[in-house]
Structure 1
Amino acid sequence: MQTWAFIYKNSTWDLIPPSRKKKLKKDFPKMAEDLYNVHKKHYAAVKHLLQFLKQFPVHIKQIKRHELHTKDFKNTHLVITAGGDGTFLYASHFLEEIPILGINSEPNSSVGHFCTVAFPEGKEKLAFLLSKFLEKKPVLKPLYRLQIHLNGKAIAYPVLNDILVAEENPAATSRFLLKLNNKEYNYKCSGVWIATAWGSSAAFSSAGGKKFSETNQKGEKQFGVLIREPYEKIPKQEKMRFVVETQNLEIISKMIKGRIYLDGMHRQLPFVIGDTLSISIYKKPLWRLGK
């Protein structure tokens, strides 16, 4: 019998301390009501999804997102996430060969770019994909990722969406040296975004970058680099550039309290003066169930 890991997030309402909930209910009742309604809808969707999955002859292993550990994926055949992109991205960091299926549990309030289906609207599609998976005829899409090394040491979490390198304090200037194609560039700015094609429509785009495809005209996989709010005017071709799979990007920190953010805020690494970050295409894609 197959084992499927069902991973779901805590709602925002779960994360608010009781004293703050009390204040919200008193001072901002509409905000409190909206947050609580989303909370109820999310857990109702989780409950319905678990009931829906009972029709399949598999063992379901339930895990909360913040409790995930590498050992949770031992002898697991499929990972299903319920939430939005944040839950999908967090779970993806643990996966090498195991396919993943993202379900947007509350599409009216949650971003689900990586989610194959929304629930409950996508029940028929979900049933089809899971049935095909059990028949060993899965509909899979490979998503390339980024590998990072910090001071020569490989970081275990492959990046699917984007990387932000910046000062810990958002009001401070980010300073670093960028090395690419045997050239060096010194920057003072508010940070640098590094994005895959999948992440190019998210914060990368909001910061002024352009959405791009997985490969260039030569068929080489590529990722984008965007200098965020440069202190001095720089050439257009420097503000946004591409790195292909045969190249390696290096960033050397000149910051006292720099940080590296991997696929959002949940995974962070210190990046202090003299540290070297290397970024390249990861050798193994993430296998997403559903096109």
Structure 2
Amino acid sequence: MARRRLLVLLKPFDVYPASQSDGLSRITSLQLRHLDNRRKVHKDAMNFCQNILRHKPVEWKALLRNDIRQPIHDVDLVITVGGDGTLLHASHYIDDSVPVLGVNSDPTRPEEVFRHSNEYDATRSTGYLCAATVDNFEQILDNIIEDRISPSDLRRISIGVNSQVISTYALNDILIAHPCPATLSRFSFKIKSDYQPCSPLVSSRSSGLRVSTAAGATAAMLSAGGFPMPILSQDLQYMVREPIALGAASSLMHGFINPRQSMEATWFCKEGIIYIDGTHVRCSVKNGDRIEISSKAPVLKVFLPHRVQHVSGL
């Protein structure tokens, strides 16, 4: 059997502010000491994972996630060490041929949240999509190498502008809005279907349009009043943000797009931006541009935590 080829993508240290202590208040000093500790925990986790890999029958190399510039094709597994943000970053360079294992390098400890939440943010990383920590990394890695477990297929969003498909797919969500968040967004949209007539055309004046996958439904979509979804759902969820003068179209401002449907939106402002997975990737649009949104994108194969696989959703 050929040796597995692995790529390890690491969360960089520059996401942690450098420590400075002169002239700081007690609370700020506590926060910086906390960051120093978080940096050490992350470094220890990176070293731990790489040390485990040195003793496995695999070929591997490690890179900082920001050093990835090209699509990843020549490996059998990508391992991300950081949190969901590192896995999300990696997903933009992976098609449906390479599975991903996320390692949460610094998971939130409930007792620390209780003890320190008044002093600093103790809710470090939920690692919602990360199946491993340092506690079970070797066991999960062995299961993958020996084909005892399989990845799950997570749905992603395909975005096209004027019939040109954007090369990056969204794993969590997209937001279409004016570059200035205080400026009104004007657009219309309809749901197109393979098996029934299009939905009524909805014209919107609002703060923009958000569309999420099942994986992203627990993030900004849920905070805005959306619904959680089973993680393996193939549907997309959409919501018009802060619509003005709802009227008869109120029931159409929030809904779902199934795999046999797509959304076609037309932008009616001079400027606009499609934000893909937060600020990771963005694409400019202008007045009259037609934006096509669907789940017709390559899935992302992810080894999921058991607690996530068995969440039923609503």
What TM-score results when the alignment is normalised by the length of structure 2?
0.81
Matched, 1:232 2:239: no
Correspondence 1:225-264 to 2 at 5 A:
225-234=238-247, 235-264=249-278
Change in Cα spacing, 1:174 to 1:36, as seen in structure 2 (3 Å) is: farther
Structure-1 residue corresponding to 2:111: none
Q: Where does structure 1 lack aligned partners over 5 or more consecutive residues?
A: none
For the residues of structure 2 that align with 1:285 and 1:199, how far apart are their CA atoms?
14
Deviation string for 1:208-233 (max 9, x for gaps)?
A: 111133688xxxx3111111111223
Change in Cα spacing, 1:34 to 1:275, as seen in structure 2 (3 Å) is: farther
Structure-2 residue corresponding to 1:157: 168
Change in Cα spacing, 1:136 to 1:43, as seen in structure 2 (3 Å) is: same
Structure-2 residue corresponding to 1:127: 138
- Contact preservation (8 Å) 2:11, 2:65: yes
For the residues of structure 2 that align with 1:198 and 1:62, how far apart are their CA atoms?
26
- Contact preservation (8 Å) 1:214, 1:222: no
Offset, 1:46: 0.9
Offset, 1:114: 0.9
For the residues of structure 2 that align with 1:34 and 1:52, how far apart are their CA atoms?
27
Offset, 1:111: 3.2
Structure-2 residue corresponding to 1:31: 31
Q: Where does structure 2 lack aligned partners over 5 or more consecutive residues?
A: 109-123, 192-197, 307-314
More displaced stretch, 127-136 vs 40-49: 127-136
Matched, 1:270 2:284: yes
Say what the alpha-carbon RMSD is for the aligned residues: 2.3
Structure-2 residue corresponding to 1:223: 236
- Contact preservation (8 Å) 2:169, 2:297: no
Correspondence 1:189-208 to 2 at 5 A:
189-208=206-225
Offset, 1:149: 0.9
Offset, 1:44: 1.8
- Contact preservation (8 Å) 2:79, 2:102: yes
Residue 204 of structure 2, aligned match among 154, 174, 187:
187
- Contact preservation (8 Å) 1:24, 1:31: no
Matched, 1:66 2:66: yes
Offset, 1:57: 1.2
For the residues of structure 2 that align with 1:252 and 1:24, how far apart are their CA atoms?
53
Other structure's SS at 2:217 match: helix
- Contact preservation (8 Å) 2:154, 2:232: no
Other structure's SS at 1:90 match: helix
Structure-1 residue corresponding to 2:298: 284
Change in Cα spacing, 1:24 to 1:39, as seen in structure 2 (3 Å) is: farther
For the residues of structure 1 that align with 2:67 and 2:23, how far apart are their CA atoms?
29
For the residues of structure 2 that align with 1:153 and 1:3, how far apart are their CA atoms?
33
Matched, 1:213 2:213: no
Other structure's SS at 1:38 match: helix
Correspondence 1:5-24 to 2 at 5 A:
5-11=7-13, 13-14=15-16, 16=17, 22=20
Structure-1 residue corresponding to 2:310: none
Residue 113 of structure 1, aligned match among 128, 151, 176:
128
Deviation string for 1:160-183 (max 9, x for gaps)?
A: 211111111122222211122253
Structure-1 residue corresponding to 2:93: 94
Other structure's SS at 1:44 match: helix
For the residues of structure 1 that align with 2:21 and 2:171, how far apart are their CA atoms?
38
Change in Cα spacing, 1:37 to 1:249, as seen in structure 2 (3 Å) is: same
Offset, 1:289: 2.3
